[in-house]
């Protein structure tokens, strides 16, 4: 699933390309993706003619604010990613006009397509069709986002605030870092990377963490997430930038999905264990 760096990368790319553009039309072959309003026909009526005035991120949600009271929310979920370009409908299949990167197989599972006023198309490619799309008024949006924890890169998210967040939630540190009600935006990839660099075992209980360990996690989090944004996120799975290209974090990935390989710090073989249905990748020597 795209996490904070991948979603922020998408938002930054979109701001350069579609800000102040207007939605002229929308197509889907999977209306269930539209959660609000209740029908695709209503969604289509309400979004046509809306001009994009702001593009921002909250947690893993991409948000388009329009000139009126409406906001388009897209949560890419497990395998979704937005792309921008030109497509041609060919026997019920959307084919990129200029294939290149957009022709890569992972970019061809198009289930939602917006036509913009400059002729370009904004599409959602989603292999598993888990993505969520909603058109909300500001009041409903506020209710939708209220349960999310603080943004880990906000200036006001101090070490003391982070420490307070951990003290309010019991559990193993990897689970807590991925809990969107505690901190917004971190998932499986970056929880593994943060804890490896901080030398903290993912199964360690938050109540067992010393202040210096919490500080190390905080500092590492504030270092790794911006670094990942800077290189365009991680594309080990389905995520692609709106151009169709891969993010560059893979060369920086130290532990996530590296089970069986040698730890780049100490040479010990990296392990993978299940934690509440998710995988935790870690070095059994470095992380204690």
- Per-residue pLDDT band for 219 (boundaries 50, 70, 90) equals very high
Whole-angstrom Cα distance, residue 29 to residue 60?
24
**pLDDT score of 276:** 85
Single out the residue of 218, 182, 179, 183 nearest to residue 198, CA to CA: 218
Which one from 2, 96, 150, 202 is the annotated catalytic residue?
A: 2
Whole-angstrom Cα distance, residue 209 to residue 218?
12
For the segment 181-201, the average pLDDT, to the nearest whole number, is 98
Q: Which residue has the higher pLDDT, 160 or 99?
A: 160
Which one from 129, 161, 272, 278 is the annotated catalytic residue?
A: 278
List pLDDT tens digits, range 262-287: 999 999 999 999 998 889 999 999 99
**pLDDT score of 6:** 98
- Per-residue pLDDT band for 230 (boundaries 50, 70, 90) equals very high
Which one from 21, 57, 60, 246 is the annotated catalytic residue?
A: 60
Token pair for 113? 């397509």
- Per-residue pLDDT band for 147 (boundaries 50, 70, 90) equals very high
- Is residue 180 scored above 90 in pLDDT? yes
- Is residue 253 scored above 90 in pLDDT? yes
Strands (E), the chain: 23-28, 34-36, 52-58, 61-66, 70-75, 80-85, 87-90, 93-96, 110-116, 121-126, 132-137, 271-275, 278-282
Token pair for 8? 């922020």
For the segment 192-219, the average pLDDT, to the nearest whole number, is 97
**pLDDT score of 241:** 98
Is 150 one of the catalytic residues?
no
Is 60 one of the catalytic residues?
yes
Average pLDDT, the chain: 96
Is 3 one of the catalytic residues?
yes
Structural domains of the chain ordered from first start: 4-145 (3.20.190.10), 159-282 (1.10.8.50)
């Amino acid at each position: 699933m795209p996490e904070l760096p991948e979603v922020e990368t998408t938002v930054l790319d979109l701001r350069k390309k579609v800000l102040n553009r207007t939605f002229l039309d929308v197509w889907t072959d999977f209306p269930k993706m539209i959660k609000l309003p209740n029908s695709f026909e209503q969604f289509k009526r309400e979004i046509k003619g809306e001009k994009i005035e702001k593009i921002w991120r909250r947690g893993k949600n991409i948000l388009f604010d329009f000139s009126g009271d409406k906001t388009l929310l897209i949560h890419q979920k497990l395998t979704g990613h937005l792309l921008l370009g030109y497509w041609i409908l060919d026997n019920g299949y959307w084919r990129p006009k200029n294939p290149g990167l957009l022709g890569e197989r992972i970019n061809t599972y198009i289930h939602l397509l917006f036509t913009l006023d400059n002729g370009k198309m904004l599409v959602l490619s989603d292999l598993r069709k888990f993505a969520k799309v909603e058109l909300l008024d500001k009041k409903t949006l506020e209710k939708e986002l209220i349960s999310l924890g603080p943004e880990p890169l906000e200036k006001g998210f101090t070490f003391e605030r982070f420490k307070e967040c951990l003290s309010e939630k019991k559990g193993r540190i990897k689970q807590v870092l991925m809990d969107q009600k505690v901190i917004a935006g971190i998932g499986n990839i970056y929880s593994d990377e943060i804890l490896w660099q901080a030398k903290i075992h993912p199964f360690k209980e938050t109540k067992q963490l010393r202040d210096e360990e919490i500080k190390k996690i905080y500092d590492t989090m504030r270092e790794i997430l911006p670094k990942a944004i800077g290189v365009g996120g991680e594309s080990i799975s389905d995520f692609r930038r709106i151009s169709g290209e891969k993010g560059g974090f893979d060369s920086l990935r130290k532990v996530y999905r590296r089970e069986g390989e040698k730890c780049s710090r100490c040479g010990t073989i990296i392990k993978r264990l299940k934690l509440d249905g998710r995988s935790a990748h870690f070095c059994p020597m470095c992380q204690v």
